[in-house]
Amino acid sequence: MNKEQKKIIKRVNQAYSKLYVLNNIKWISFRDKLFNMNKQDEKKHRNSFDNWASNHKDACNISDCARLFVVHNIAESLLNKSEYTIKDLLGIRLSCLYSQSIVENYREIIETAWKDEDINYLSNLDYISLVNFELYKESELKKVA
């Protein structure tokens, strides 16, 4: 893991930690459930390729990636209130809809918890930055050009 990835993970962990407030609302620990959904998705993703690990030697661990998705999807849902509809259920990860539902129900709690967070930064987090930083840098350069 390189220095830039460590910075990303630090910001993700900071934002993720502040979402602890989602675990104390009802009998369901919403943050933890969302984390577990993303962790399972990431495990399935990595196991679906025979040589995933050899092609992603400097990849962050599954838990770091799962936390990134939690934070990214919550931030994205804060900015795009109605991004997904029931029709999308067949084409996206269930955790994306779950994130949107959490935001629909608990927007004020999240916004209060994240009052010092840069929501735009969090919504623009890119999974590839944690699993293949060289490819991420290439894609960022193409965006600028």
**pLDDT tens digits, residue range 93-107?**
899 999 999 999 999
Q: What is the pLDDT of residue 132?
A: 85
Q: Is 60 left (phi over 0), alpha (psi -120 to 50) or beta?
A: beta
Tell me the pLDDT band of 8, cut-offs 50, 70 and 90.
very high
| Domain containing residue 32 | 3-144
Contact assessment for residue 111 and residue 30, using Cβ atoms and an 8 Å cutoff: no
Contact assessment for residue 126 and residue 136, using Cβ atoms and an 8 Å cutoff: yes
Contact assessment for residue 42 and residue 144, using Cβ atoms and an 8 Å cutoff: no
65-114 pLDDT tens trace: 999 999 999 999 999 877 777 888 888 889 999 999 999 999 999 999 99
Query: pTM for the whole thing?
Result: 0.91
**Average pLDDT over all residues of the chain:** 91
Going through 28-123 in order, the beta strands assigned E by DSSP cover none
Looking at this protein, which amino acid is placed at residue 95?
A: S
Please count the structural domains in the chain: 1
